[in-house]
Amino acid sequence: MGCRIPVYTSCQRRRNSAVNTYLQQGLIKLQWGIYYLHKFWISTKHFIQEQFNKNLYTRILFTNVTAFAIVLIVLVMFSNFMVKQVIYSEIQQELLREAKRVNFALLEQTDKGWSLPPDQQTGSQNRGQQDLLKYLADIYDAKITIFDIEGKITAISAEQEMVPGSRIEDKYLKLFKKGSVATLQTIEKDTGQPVFAAVVPMGDNDEALHNGILLETSSSNFDLSLSKMHLYMVSGGMVLLLFIIIISVYLAVCISRPISRLAATAAEICRGSYVPQCKELPLEEINVLGGQLDKLAERQQKIQAESGRMEEERTRLFAEISHELRTPLTSVQGFVEAIRDGIVQDDALRERYLNTIYTQTIHINRLVDDILELSRLESGNITVEKLPVDLNALAHGVAMSMEPVANRANTSIFVDIKSEKAIMLGDADRLEQVIRNLLKNAIRATENGIIRVEVESCQGKVALSIEDNGAGIAPEDLTRIWERFYRIKNQREEHMGEKGSGLGLVIVKKLVQLQNGSIDVTSQLGKGTIFHISFPAFDPKPNETR
């Protein structure tokens, strides 16, 4: 014994170690299997999602096929359940009727000794019972069993199943003892198929219960019919599935084709080569989208045209600015170089050169200021206030401030107020700038003359006019005075010491338009010029009194 214990213990340890190793290997394999299954599931899920979101074809096809498959499965399961319930109920009712017919047929055979136990029956009675039960079992396609009140089987249609002392199942005996006709559905243990049974008391209802009749039938024929029905449904489902696939592809083509056209249209719009079309597309939603793309294309064309116009305008503006700045800068540069190089020795000539340089720098400064002002006006960065302004007082004040400048040209300024009230909604500072610029232009054009400023309010309008009897404007120049950097030649030649930037009237017109006003000009060469400005009058409603 002392020698075997270590050997036995060592063998047991080796066996346990082998088992543990095997379990560990199995656990590792199981983990790897779970890992690969999870990886396969993730890949499959990703593939399905990718295909589903790939394009319209796959989405419509996948959705329709999936929906049809789910509906078909639900329909098959529901129809299977409903058919089973209906057929099973019919089988039970039919089996119950057959049991009653068997009971009636057995009662007609009074000589068979149905109430006697098998050991007390004669051979002829036993054979007669057996033959009759077989005959009835063949007719009704059911197994027929006769049993007594204790559940012992006294006769059976299948002779090979007759075993002395055999009994029916307790569930059938309980139904029999209730004394009523009943049916029962059970599952056969060996095959798992449903079995239907009917239990009826043997004899008339008035007689005491001694024997019972048990009819049992299986649903093999019905299951075969049900399997055929499933086959037909699946076959029909496959045909319908093929039809749905064809319809889905057709719908996808009908929907995606105009969408593809719209995508090509959008690409052409991006390239700027699309021409709007009025072609009707088959779907209302696609028509709406196509109309929006046409509007977008038209808007883009307008933007491109406007952008091209603005680019041309900007190029022209830069050219004009360069030209306007180059002349005074060239003059300044020439005079400065002459002074620096010592060419000018005469003090009077040097003084004249310095005065010219000073005048040109003032002109450049004024030109830059006007350019900045016009740029802000055209870009919309300047906003004007809309407050009540008395144009009478404003015009009178500006005229008074400009009198010293006019007196240097031996010119007088007269203000003619024709209305007691000339109130408008506007910006007083901007209106003063407008009047001052027009008066400056009138003073430049007039020498030894008269400038009249007239204010009048009538018919819901406030009118301002500035008239001079100066040099006037030639007809060919009159249509171009609102252009940037345009100057009237005779004025520029006569007032070289105080020439304008060519932007004053452009700024004036912009400021007038910003205040809902309008400006016009009439002129005759050698007789003078009149500027007419009109604004909507401001008429505050008086307080209502009772």
Which range, 57-66, 112-121, 166-175, 531-540, has the best average confidence (pLDDT)?
531-540
Asked if residue 5 has pLDDT above 50, the reply is no
At 239, the amino acid letter reads V
Give tens-digit pLDDT for 430-449: 888 888 888 888 888 888 88
Angle between helices 284-340 and 220-271 (to 10 degrees): 30
Q: How far apart are CA 518 and CA 510, in angstroms?
A: 10
pLDDT, residue 532, reads 92
126 and 189 both lie in a single domain? yes
412 and 473 both lie in a single domain? yes
* Average of per-residue pLDDT across 215-227: 72
Q: How many CB atoms lie within 10 A of CB 339?
A: 15
Residue where a domain terminates, one of 382, 406, 440: 382
Does residue 213 fall inside a structural domain?
yes
Q: How far apart are CA 73 and CA 86, in angstroms?
A: 20
141, 168, 204, 213, 485 from 132: Cα distances, Å: 14, 20, 20, 14, 131
Give tens-digit pLDDT for 283-318: 666 777 777 777 777 787 788 787 777 777 677 767
DSSP 334-400: HHHHHHHTT----HHHHHHHHHHHHHHHHHHHHHHHHHHHHHHHHHT------EEEEHHHHHHHHHH
Domain that holds residue 122: 92-225
Identify the helix (H) or strand (E) that includes residue 522.
Answer: strand 518-524
Q: How far apart are CA 182 and CA 212, in angstroms?
A: 12
Could you give the number of structural domains in the chain?
4
pLDDT, residue 483, reads 78
Residue where a domain terminates, one of 335, 359, 382: 382
* Average of per-residue pLDDT across 258-269: 75
Does residue 373 fall inside a structural domain?
yes
Strands 412-417 and 450-458: parallel
Does residue 125 fall inside a structural domain?
yes
Asked if residue 4 has pLDDT above 50, the reply is no
371 and 397 both lie in a single domain? no
pTM as predicted: 0.45
Structure tokens at 222: 């019905």
Angle between helices 347-379 and 284-340 (to 10 degrees): 170
409 and 524 both lie in a single domain? yes
Does residue 311 fall inside a structural domain?
yes
* CATH classification of the domain holding 286: 1.10.287.130
8 Å CB contact between 490 and 447: no
8 Å CB contact between 145 and 167: no
Identify the helix (H) or strand (E) that includes residue 435.
Answer: helix 428-445
399 and 377 both lie in a single domain? no
* CATH classification of the domain holding 110: 3.30.450.20
Does residue 135 fall inside a structural domain?
yes
CA-CA-CA-CA dihedral for 66, 69, 75, 81, to nearest 10: -120
Extract the runs of DSSP E, i.e. beta strands, from 85-152.
Answer: 143-148
Give tens-digit pLDDT for 144-171: 888 887 888 877 877 655 566 678 888 8
Give tens-digit pLDDT for 460-482: 889 999 998 888 888 887 878 87
389 and 532 both lie in a single domain? yes
350 and 388 both lie in a single domain? no
pLDDT, residue 160, reads 59
Angle at 390 between CA 466 and CA 520, to 5 degrees: 30
173, 216, 339 from 97: Cα distances, Å: 20, 13, 140
Nearest residue to 481 via CA among 499, 456, 507: 507
Partnered with residue 426 across adjacent β-strands are 387
* Average of per-residue pLDDT across 403-410: 86
336 and 402 both lie in a single domain? no
Does residue 464 fall inside a structural domain?
yes
447 and 470 both lie in a single domain? yes
365 and 448 both lie in a single domain? no
Asked if residue 281 has pLDDT above 70, the reply is no
Angle at 365 between CA 360 and CA 371, to 5 degrees: 125
Asked if residue 54 has pLDDT above 70, the reply is no
Q: How far apart are CA 197 and CA 199, in angstroms?
A: 7
Residue where a domain terminates, one of 348, 382, 416: 382
* CATH classification of the domain holding 466: 3.30.565.10
Q: What is the DSSP letter of 152?
A: B
Give tens-digit pLDDT for 128-144: 777 787 888 888 888 88
404 and 378 both lie in a single domain? no
Nearest residue to 402 via CA among 356, 451, 340, 344: 451
466, 487, 526 from 474: Cα distances, Å: 18, 12, 9
* Backbone phi, psi, residue 413, to 5°: -115, 125
Question: Of 102-111, 148-157, 239-248, 459-468, where does mean pLDDT reach its minimum?
Answer: 102-111
137, 431, 471, 511 from 536: Cα distances, Å: 115, 14, 31, 15
Q: How far apart are CA 201 and CA 12, in angstroms?
A: 67
371 and 483 both lie in a single domain? no
* Res. 1 pLDDT band, cuts 50 70 90: very low
Percent of the chain scoring above 70 in pLDDT? 79
Q: How far apart are CA 427 and CA 524, in angstroms?
A: 32
* Res. 402 pLDDT band, cuts 50 70 90: confident
Does residue 72 fall inside a structural domain?
no
* Backbone phi, psi, residue 162, to 5°: -75, 115
Does residue 22 fall inside a structural domain?
yes
8 Å CB contact between 286 and 314: no
